[in-house]
A and B are shown apart, each in its own frame.
Chain A
Amino acid sequence: MVIKKRILFLTVLFVLLAFAVTSCAPATQTPTTTSPTQTVTPTPTEKKLKVVFIYVGPIGDGGWTYEHDQGRKMLEQEVPGVETTYVESVPEGADATKVIRDFAQKGYDVIITTSFGYMDPTIEVAKDFPNIIFLHCSGYKTAPNVGTYFGKIEEPRYLSGLVAGKMTKSNLIGYVAAYPIPEVIRGINAFTLGVRAVNPDAEVRVVWTNTWYDPAKERQAAEGLLDVGCDIIAQHQDTPGPQQAAEARGVYGIGYDSDMSKFAPKAVLTSPIWKWGVYYVDAIKRIKAGTWKTEQYWGGMKDGIVDLAPLASFVPDDVKKLVEDKKKEIMGGKFGIFDIFSGPLKDQSGQIRVEEGKKMTADEILNMKWFVEGVVGEIPPE
């Protein structure tokens, strides 16, 4: 009797669980295929180009992967005859190889891998599938059928530095930073150079959180900066935690990844943002036209892959004008990342690292592991 009852109970529970699991499975387990709601009817002979995106995190991170997925949606809307698929939360390393190979075998035409750690897996699989085109984000290895792409986020970061330099009263600007890797370090440097271009007395205080996204921890880091007198909070983190801290204290902040003003409308002055869709549309169009060749795409504001979110309404007009003028220079090709990182550049100890009249090379910029003068903070030894 007891056993029968228990079996019944178990069955009911199992069915309930199975229902719950299957109803949420498509999001986390299997890739989801979507097609644009309004497709231009392709001519019967035209085959749809099948594109798959490999994401390192969930789309729900609201940051890095979210922005890539916005790019995927833009691609579907703007390029007819494209069918996209994505898979979330693929761990970097051996698992990635398996997932990428799986999609290659399924007959996808383009495989887009959106994290640095997918570099070697992408190259490895690409060797076996010469007819498939692979696009890898932020890496440095290419092959005849593998191209890389990244953006010069340092350009909008520099512009946001101009805003921060003008808006600070205490001359102390806080910067909540994720990990001490070149990508983050050069972002801090570009920002600081922007700040010091308009306010040579200001300094940028850096705090490392050792996390990409943990909103509570990032908020705490920002509060630490506010407690020592910083009155602007910039960030290289994927959550709006630091901006919410700035808002709660009634000071300003500068977001990242996407326009964070919706989370802290009274605080966020602007945010350097990614617009991956611009690149995806361009690359896929070229692939469809048959004109794509392997490349190391490194686009800037001029190309549209990175941008500065609109300045808040409470930014004074003279600051707005300053930023707009500089932006015009960037858009006109008169100013860019190589002008940001041009001599004379001193490091934190005041020692000249880049002589006057010299510019850093792309390689030097991409591998930067030292702070410019004006940054207060340490890069932990590796």
Chain B
Amino acid sequence: MNLDIVIATLSATIKAGTPLLLATLGEIMAERAGILNLGLEGMMLVGALSGFIVCFLTSNPWVGLLVALASGAIIALIHAALTVTLRANQVVSGLAVTLFGTGLSGFLGKMVIGVPIPNYFTPIAIPGLVNIPFLGPILFRQDPLVYLSYLLVPLLAFWIYRTRPGLHLRAVGENPAAADALGVNVYGVRYLYTLIGGALAGMAGAYLSLAYTPVWIENMTAGRGWIAIALVIFATWDPFKALLGSYLFGLVDAVQFRLQAVGVAVPSFFLNMTPYLATIIVLIFATTETARRRIGAPAALGLPYEREEKS
């Protein structure tokens, strides 16, 4: 393997990891607020389709992206309404939202099947940075959505750990009653971050339909939403580790296809399994109480919050 192949492999790793990264970041934000969002896959599909349709109509992928963000958030609103206001079971609601999003996108997408879009996100080399040896062509010859994902990771980490709203967010996820007592609007925070999570899921879908494979076919996310949910645990609710985990998944495919292409037999099922295996191992540790405290699974994750009110 020469250096070019290594660079190409790592560059492909980032491309494949980006939709996972965006969706994982979205899920982290929702779960940090205590809302488990299993509707991710449905939100990604709706985002992918709406972004695609709008880009088809306006030939502007940026407008498509905005619509994808908005439509992901709208679907997330259903989940938020069910789980925050009505205190419905988050697992059931999330599954319902995924089924709903899958069906809705499949139905509405019929009109744009096999339709090419005139304009989509293509890689843009960043002048200067792309000349950095080795890292330049890997990191800085990507499409704009990848650059956005680079920015989102430190931004969200800073937000979660270093700002007052981030503190409120964590408080709501850990102990909503205490947060409420401090005057934090628990319902408002949970709504907000569920919507942000939905918007990021929509963006993840749009990355597929507007940048990576600019086409609409039914169910084109092919289970990436579920991988992202597993990745949140792998990442222990931390944006930087989410980046690591997403790229790990991306790397597996990037490596195995290149090995196959030079005629090396790869145990592809085993390779495909490894990231999940890593997730399961992390999950096992994460479920013990002490580890749970150490790695920061939000204590109130999945629990509805009911304010004690006078009736």
Tell me the A residues contacting B by CB distance below 8 Å.
1-2, 6, 9-10, 13, 17, 20-21, 24, 27-28, 57-63, 66, 174, 205-211, 213-217, 219-221, 223-225, 227-228, 230, 239-241, 244, 248, 258, 262-263, 376-378, 380
Of the A-B pairs whose beta carbons lie under 8 Å apart in the complex, a sample of 5, sorted by A's number, is A207-B257, A211-B222, A220-B16, A221-B253, A263-B116
B265 at the interface (CB under 8 A from A): yes
**Which listed residue, A59, A220, A241, touches B257 by the CB 8 Å rule?**
A220
* A216 near B269: Cβ-Cβ < 8 Å: no
Rounded to whole angstroms, the CA-CA distance of A128 and B85 in the bound complex is 53
**C-beta contact mask, B59-88 vs A, less than 8 Å → 1, else 0?**
000000000000000000010011001100
* B107 near A227: Cβ-Cβ < 8 Å: no
Chief secondary structure at chain B's binding surface: helix
* A206 near B309: Cβ-Cβ < 8 Å: no
Rounded to whole angstroms, the CA-CA distance of A278 and B158 in the bound complex is 61
The residue in chain B whose Cβ has the minimal distance to the Cβ of A5 is B85
B103 at the interface (CB under 8 A from A): yes
* A220 near B261: Cβ-Cβ < 8 Å: no
Rounded to whole angstroms, the CA-CA distance of A61 and B212 in the bound complex is 17
A174 contacts across to B, CB distance below 8 A: 261
* B103 near A28: Cβ-Cβ < 8 Å: yes
**Which listed residue, B212, B218, B220, B263, touches A205 by the CB 8 Å rule?**
B263
**Which listed residue, B81, B100, B103, B215, touches A240 by the CB 8 Å rule?**
B215
**Which listed residue, A206, A215, A262, A376, touches B220 by the CB 8 Å rule?**
A215
Known contacts A205-B263, A228-B262, A239-B213; A24 and B104 CB within 8 A of each other:
yes
Most buried by A among B4, B224, B263: B263
B311 at the interface (CB under 8 A from A): yes
Minimum CB–CB distance for A3 against chain B, Å: 8
B133 contacts across to A, CB distance below 8 A: none
* B222 near A224: Cβ-Cβ < 8 Å: no
**C-beta contact mask, B210-233 vs A, less than 8 Å → 1, else 0?**
001111111110101000000000
- Interchain Cβ contacts within 8 Å, total number: 148
* A215 near B213: Cβ-Cβ < 8 Å: yes
Known pairs A216-B222, A227-B12, A240-B215 / 6 extra A-B pairs, C-beta < 8 Å: A21-B100, A24-B103, A60-B113, A62-B217, A215-B213, A248-B122
Known contacts A60-B217, A66-B113, A228-B258; A28 and B106 CB within 8 A of each other:
yes
The residue in chain A whose Cβ has the minimal distance to the Cβ of B212 is A216
B15 contacts across to A, CB distance below 8 A: 220
**C-beta contact mask, B35-46 vs A, less than 8 Å → 1, else 0?**
000000000000
* A225 near B215: Cβ-Cβ < 8 Å: no
The residue in chain B whose Cβ has the minimal distance to the Cβ of A175 is B261
B262 contacts across to A, CB distance below 8 A: 205, 228
* A227 near B261: Cβ-Cβ < 8 Å: yes
Rounded to whole angstroms, the CA-CA distance of A223 and B10 in the bound complex is 12
A207 contacts across to B, CB distance below 8 A: 257, 260-261
Q: Which residues of chain B from 3 to 53 have a CB within 8 Å of any chain A CB? A: 4-5, 8-9, 12, 15-16, 19
The residue in chain A whose Cβ has the minimal distance to the Cβ of B213 is A215
* A227 near B222: Cβ-Cβ < 8 Å: no
Known contacts A217-B222, A223-B257, A380-B265; A27 and B110 CB within 8 A of each other:
yes
The residue in chain A whose Cβ has the minimal distance to the Cβ of B311 is A2
B128 at the interface (CB under 8 A from A): no
B220 contacts across to A, CB distance below 8 A: 214-216, 239
* B261 near A205: Cβ-Cβ < 8 Å: yes
B260 contacts across to A, CB distance below 8 A: 206-208, 221, 224, 377-378
B109 at the interface (CB under 8 A from A): yes
B82 contacts across to A, CB distance below 8 A: 13
A216 contacts across to B, CB distance below 8 A: 16, 19, 208, 212-213, 220, 222, 224
Minimum CB–CB distance for A67 against chain B, Å: 11
Minimum CB–CB distance for A291 against chain B, Å: 36
* B309 near A2: Cβ-Cβ < 8 Å: yes
B9 contacts across to A, CB distance below 8 A: 227
Known contacts A59-B110, A224-B12; A13 and B81 CB within 8 A of each other:
yes
Minimum CB–CB distance for B271 against chain A, Å: 11
**C-beta contact mask, B108-140 vs A, less than 8 Å → 1, else 0?**
111001101000001000000000000000000
* B265 near A221: Cβ-Cβ < 8 Å: no
The residue in chain B whose Cβ has the minimal distance to the Cβ of A263 is B116
Rounded to whole angstroms, the CA-CA distance of A227 and B220 in the bound complex is 24
Rounded to whole angstroms, the CA-CA distance of A13 and B114 in the bound complex is 34
* B269 near A210: Cβ-Cβ < 8 Å: yes
Rounded to whole angstroms, the CA-CA distance of A258 and B81 in the bound complex is 43
Rounded to whole angstroms, the CA-CA distance of A216 and B227 in the bound complex is 14
Rounded to whole angstroms, the CA-CA distance of A57 and B106 in the bound complex is 11
* B113 near A20: Cβ-Cβ < 8 Å: no
Most buried by B among A20, A27, A206, A215: A215
The residue in chain B whose Cβ has the minimal distance to the Cβ of A6 is B86
Rounded to whole angstroms, the CA-CA distance of A224 and B268 in the bound complex is 14
Q: Which residues of chain B from 222 to 272 have a CB within 8 Å of any chain A CB? A: 222, 224, 253-254, 257-258, 260-263, 265, 268-269, 272
Rounded to whole angstroms, the CA-CA distance of A226 and B274 in the bound complex is 25
Rounded to whole angstroms, the CA-CA distance of A238 and B66 in the bound complex is 29
Known contacts A10-B86, A215-B215, A220-B257; A378 and B265 CB within 8 A of each other:
yes
* B104 near A61: Cβ-Cβ < 8 Å: no
* A241 near B265: Cβ-Cβ < 8 Å: no
* B257 near A224: Cβ-Cβ < 8 Å: yes
The residue in chain A whose Cβ has the minimal distance to the Cβ of B255 is A224
* B106 near A27: Cβ-Cβ < 8 Å: yes
